[in-house]
Structure 1
Amino acid sequence: MEKIIEEDIKNGFSIKKIKFRFPPEPNGFLHIGHIKAICLNFELSQKYKSSINLRFDDTNPIGENRNFIDSIKEDILFLGFHWDHESYASDYFHQLYKWAIKLIKENKAYVDDQSQSIIQLQRKNPFEIGIYSNYRTRSIEENLFLFEKMKNGFFGEGSCVLRAKINMSSSNMNMRDPIMYRILRKKHHRTKYQWCIYPTYDWTHGLCDYIEQISHSLCSLEFENRRPLYNWYLDQIYIDNKEKIRPKQIEFSRLNLSHTITSKRKIQYLIKKKVISYWDDPRILTISGLRRKGYTSVALKNFIHQIGITKRNNIIDISFLEFWVRKHLNKIAYRVMVVLNPIQLIIDNYPSDTTEWVETENNPENSNFGNRKIPFSKFLYIEKDDFLEKEKKNFFRLCIGKEVRLKNAYIIKANSVIKNNEGKIKKIHCTYDPKSKYEKKNKIEEKGRVKTTLHWVSIKHSFPININLYKPLFLFFLHYFLLQNLLL
């Protein structure tokens, strides 16, 4: 991207006229794929000290609402970016309508009464010449009259559309008389019922870029085939003027991650089927879900910077994202000891009336976080999974007759267990070595005495907490594959 922009500047394009935009559709929450586009646009804006617009592509009243707009703005701010101007495609509905009339008057657009399914069939495929609509030869006067009636609500949904008159023989299917306007009798979140005809994305996007004087329109690679149409629409309204910029569309590859979905349609399906709770469910990779999961904005941006910006589509393993999250959290997170599945540990030779305060670091990777004191006593909790009554091969945690170290405290040895009526272990009795207290500055040489350190909490000083553990949404590749193809 930067090479293209630098080349434009080298060829005489004024750096003062560089301008970017981020144009989400407010019909769902942003996901991790959007982070790539957000970082690209906002960081280029910062580099060239240019302005950037947050423009909502609200051309489809179905499914768009204020809640999605608010969530999008919140996510961008969470990532640490700020826009210079907030706009909406609906701000330009009147101008887009005037330009549509201009095309009709130039015999470059016509009203088609055919259904969407018939129009689609007539387009054929890239290797066949499309079939021209019988309504393509309508007079300019008739098209103007019918388009005005469309605007004024005389026709029902699906009864007719306005199409651009381009080339039904083009190998690029987007150029085969694409639809510019369709009838939707739905309430718009901003314009209410003022309009019953709505412009399509293709008709809107490039022209909004032109209105806002966006110099470089950055979009994902799936829009590469739409670039000729983007330019064709600009050709119809652009006037060669030194004061006016003609936007340039530039594509980059999408961010595809393994074992997850980002399709808004499929996420809506999961919500509808109550597989997930909402758009901010931590098991999906919406920005809100990632934030609830504890992912930081720094980690997410570091991940994006590492994968880079290319024009080659590929699939990034989700473990790479998790690596960068762990790397950042390890630097900034305070450590505490939590036992999720507790079992009682009793140190028989430790005084029952004594509480000893042992020192531990708040973050082993950053001494600036300092240290804290934690209470140690006769009665402790450890994790059930950290104990086996009978030792097994390659199990290095606590067993009967085996020693381990309790983190920042003493070496202990398990001696016996107490079981309930069902034969399940309730308590572990052990003894500790008073001379084995952990000291960071003068650590006792253990000489292979223990191989494992266990975390623990003192029972009388502990308190219950709520822990939300989220398993992966797709445990097996088959589940992922089935959902990816479920709605095709």
Structure 2
Amino acid sequence: MNNTIKNNNNFICQIINKDFKKNKKLSFYTRFPPEPNGYLHIGHAKSICLNFELAKIYNGRCNLRFDDTNPLKENIKYIQAIEDDINWLGYQWNGNIHYTSEYFPKLYEYAKELIKKGLAYVDQSTKEQIREYRGTLNTPGKNSPYRNRTIEENMELFKKMKKGEFSEGEACLRAKIDMNSSFIIMRDPVLYRIIFTEHHQTRKKWCIYPMYDFAHCLSDSIEGITHSLCTLEFQDNKCLYNWILQNTSVKNHPKQYEFSRLNLEFAILSKRKLKVLIEKKIIQGWNDPRIPTLSGLKRKGYTPSSIKEFCQKIGITKQNNLIEFSMLEHCIRKELNQTAVRTMAVLEPIKIILYNLEKNHKEIFIVPNHPNNPELGTHKIIFTKIIYIERSDFKEKYDQKYKRLKLGEEVRLRYAYIIKAEKIEKDEYNNIISIICYCDLNTLGKKPKNKKNPAVIHWISVQNTLPAEFRLYDQLFNIKNPEEKKDFLSYINSESLIKKQGFIEKQIGINIQKNIEKDNKISFFQFERIGYFCIDYLDSKKENLIFNRTVSLRDPWNLKNKFK
């Protein structure tokens, strides 16, 4: 991917190239700084790929730093999940993992430095009053009644905050900047607040915690970061980022550059909204295959290389846009088309009885695991008198446009013979039990004489089956941009998950059963004519194999864009 970034020459590469021309001794240093308050999603993958790949290109370094400044929302399980996701993508951070909490003592000293310079004060206004005094985009803010406290008074009060002598919400430390600024972020932003919650790293050592905007730029500086890359929603924060660096005694002044965040069709990327989906049990958890978290995509069958390919395709720009979900599907479909083992599965079985075959008729066919990749080998399938086909591959009523099995018409069984439907057997409730067919034993590997080639359908011998569950995933939302809707829960797709109980080829299933309890390695398959599937390594048991549909066979994005 690093060569691709060079060729794209995106605007961030152009900036870095200019920086190297100005300073040939420049050492490129960046970081990926997630807040450990949820799992990573495909939007984070864009940032991960950008930062780590740039570090490769410019022989630099990329830190992993957890911006852990809010113990109310953070959890050690999120830290482990984030580490796992970055490793899964194939990246390794520079040195040890860093935490903003490592720098709490230094950040506290920088806060005192601002107080001593008359650039910060302790405010005892309520949250509501602070919000009211801040004003709006059209109206200027008003000074807090506590804004003109003396340096000595502010220093004493800030020390009391640290000692826990104020209750939560009773006091905070604010920067003294400009309540008339056109940037609301510069209207005396809060730098520290009081939280009496144990921190996952510092335990009960602190009860005051720095705000993200205060801690982030100083952490970048402490680590010697040269290029601080973030998404466009932090564009206005840049003025505060620079103000803090300029008004403290830090030596390093990183430069912040913004790029567009990833917005994906039919998907929610807000961690706050994803938590709502989990809390309301609309989805199973952070690794539900219907949401674009990296763990969800992994469970659905996406690979690190397909996600990197997607991030390369969408590029790095300053323009926000809504990315087609079909582009993401195209990337995994393209890969699995080359690597997934072909086999047959029947998701909604209906029985076919080939009446002209003997009861004990049995043939073994050797079929390829991949039509274009002999290295993937072959496997055996069994052909017998009674087989299963998909219920959707038979239609009782005549339909001229229907090209599969119907009464009086022929189809070819994949790798086997041509059959003709002649009779239907039903139960007392008029449900089809089985279809009685004639099997033309002269058509194995041969075209029918004086006839057009019939449609081909897949099948499994009743003697070659192993039961399995198939989970068919669709978009979780039925509108393209649920992120922009306040009532996003009103647009949930009620058919985002459909479960089918069917069969897979027995030997394939046995091979999976042998390994299912040994490791969590994902096995990928193309179930012929159905789609690409992977084994669900979390829910599957030896006696109950579960397959998740990764993506269908049809590629609408490629069809739409192949001539562009």
Superposition TM-score tier, normalisation by shorter sequence = over 0.9
Q: Aligned to 2:424, what secondary structure does the other structure show?
A: strand
Q: CA deviation at 1:470?
A: 2.8
Q: CA deviation at 1:485?
A: 5.0
Partner of 1:194: 205
Q: Aligned to 2:269, what secondary structure does the other structure show?
A: coil
Partner of 1:114: 125
Q: Aligned to 1:357, what secondary structure does the other structure show?
A: strand
1:79 to 66, 85, 89: 89
Q: CA deviation at 1:478?
A: 9.4
Cα distance in 2, alignment partners of residues 49 and 272 from structure 1:
43
Cα distance in 2, alignment partners of residues 414 and 96 from structure 1:
79
CA distance change for structure 1 residues 346 and 47 in 2, over 3 Å: closer, same or farther? same
Q: For each residue in 1:257-285, what CA deviation from the matched residue of structure 2 results, as whole angstroms up to 9, or x when unmatched?
A: 01110111111111111111111111111
Mean Cα displacement is larger for which, 188-197 or 118-127? Answer: 118-127
Contact 1:55-1:87 at 8 Å conserved across structures: yes
Amino acid aligned to 2:236: N
Contact 1:186-1:196 at 8 Å conserved across structures: yes
Amino acid aligned to 1:53: N
1:362 to 336, 348, 369: 369
Q: Aligned to 2:351, what secondary structure does the other structure show?
A: strand
Partner of 1:299: 306
Cα distance in 1, alignment partners of residues 231 and 102 from structure 2:
24
Contact 2:100-2:215 at 8 Å conserved across structures: yes
More strand by proportion, 1 or 2?
2
Partner of 2:228: 217
Q: CA deviation at 1:449?
A: 2.4
Cα distance in 2, alignment partners of residues 421 and 366 from structure 1:
48
Task: Indicate yes or no: 2:461 matched with 1:461.
Answer: no
Cα distance in 2, alignment partners of residues 87 and 447 from structure 1:
74
Q: Aligned to 2:228, what secondary structure does the other structure show?
A: strand
Q: CA deviation at 1:463?
A: 1.3
CA distance change for structure 1 residues 350 and 291 in 2, over 3 Å: closer, same or farther? same
2:324 to 292, 295, 317: 317
Q: Aligned to 1:323, what secondary structure does the other structure show?
A: helix
Amino acid aligned to 1:95: K
Q: CA deviation at 1:351?
A: 2.6
Cα distance in 1, alignment partners of residues 76 and 134 from structure 2:
36
Cα distance in 2, alignment partners of residues 324 and 404 from structure 1:
33
Q: CA deviation at 1:453?
A: 1.0
Amino acid aligned to 2:29: K
Unpaired runs of at least 5, structure 1: none
Task: Indicate yes or no: 2:444 matched with 1:444.
Answer: no
Q: CA deviation at 1:370?
A: 2.5
Contact 2:354-2:437 at 8 Å conserved across structures: yes
Q: For each residue in 1:289-335, what CA deviation from the matched residue of structure 2 results, as whole angstroms up to 9, or x when unmatched?
A: 11110111111111111111111000012111111111111111111
Partner of 2:160: 149
Amino acid aligned to 2:329: E
Q: CA deviation at 1:479?
A: 7.3
Q: CA deviation at 1:126?
A: 2.8
CA distance change for structure 1 residues 89 and 447 in 2, over 3 Å: closer, same or farther? farther
Cα distance in 2, alignment partners of residues 403 and 481 from structure 1:
51
Cα distance in 2, alignment partners of residues 260 and 453 from structure 1:
36
Task: Indicate yes or no: 2:15 matched with 1:8.
Answer: no
Cα distance in 1, alignment partners of residues 305 and 482 from structure 2:
31
2:180 to 169, 173, 178: 169
CA distance change for structure 1 residues 394 and 480 in 2, over 3 Å: closer, same or farther? farther
Q: Aligned to 1:198, what secondary structure does the other structure show?
A: strand
Cα distance in 1, alignment partners of residues 370 and 188 from structure 2:
62
Cα distance in 2, alignment partners of residues 26 and 93 from structure 1:
17
Q: Aligned to 2:423, what secondary structure does the other structure show?
A: strand
Contact 2:121-2:154 at 8 Å conserved across structures: yes
Q: For each residue in 1:381-403, what CA deviation from the matched residue of structure 2 results, as whole angstroms up to 9, or x when unmatched?
A: 00111101122132111000111
Q: CA deviation at 1:84?
A: 1.5
Q: CA deviation at 1:238?
A: 4.4
Partner of 2:272: 265
Aligned residues: 478
Amino acid aligned to 2:157: L
Contact 2:482-2:488 at 8 Å conserved across structures: no
What TM-score results when the alignment is normalised by the length of structure 2? 0.82
Partner of 2:438: 431
Partner of 1:129: 140
What TM-score results when the alignment is normalised by the length of structure 1? 0.95
Task: Indicate yes or no: 2:41 matched with 1:31.
Answer: yes
CA distance change for structure 1 residues 321 and 478 in 2, over 3 Å: closer, same or farther? closer
Contact 1:403-1:450 at 8 Å conserved across structures: no
Q: Aligned to 2:346, what secondary structure does the other structure show?
A: coil
Contact 2:115-2:151 at 8 Å conserved across structures: yes
Contact 1:238-1:246 at 8 Å conserved across structures: no
List structure 1 runs of 4+ shifted beyond 4 angstroms: 445-448, 476-487
Task: Indicate yes or no: 2:478 matched with 1:475.
Answer: yes
Amino acid aligned to 2:77: N
Contact 1:126-1:170 at 8 Å conserved across structures: no
1:250 to 250, 254, 257: 257
Partner of 1:379: 386
CA distance change for structure 1 residues 180 and 267 in 2, over 3 Å: closer, same or farther? same
> 1:280-359 alignment to 2 at 5 Å?
280-359=287-366
Amino acid aligned to 1:39: C
RMSD (CA atoms): 1.7
Amino acid aligned to 1:25: E
Q: Identity over aligned residues, as a percent? A: 47
Amino acid aligned to 2:156: F
Q: Aligned to 2:282, what secondary structure does the other structure show?
A: coil
CA distance change for structure 1 residues 404 and 480 in 2, over 3 Å: closer, same or farther? farther
Cα distance in 1, alignment partners of residues 451 and 297 from structure 2:
41
Unpaired runs of at least 5, structure 2: 1-11, 491-564
Cα distance in 2, alignment partners of residues 206 and 371 from structure 1:
57
CA distance change for structure 1 residues 447 and 245 in 2, over 3 Å: closer, same or farther? farther
Cα distance in 2, alignment partners of residues 109 and 157 from structure 1:
19
Q: Aligned to 2:236, what secondary structure does the other structure show?
A: helix
Cα distance in 2, alignment partners of residues 451 and 299 from structure 1:
36
Contact 2:103-2:219 at 8 Å conserved across structures: yes
Q: Aligned to 2:345, what secondary structure does the other structure show?
A: coil
Cα distance in 1, alignment partners of residues 324 and 31 from structure 2:
29
Cα distance in 2, alignment partners of residues 59 and 183 from structure 1:
11
Partner of 2:238: 227
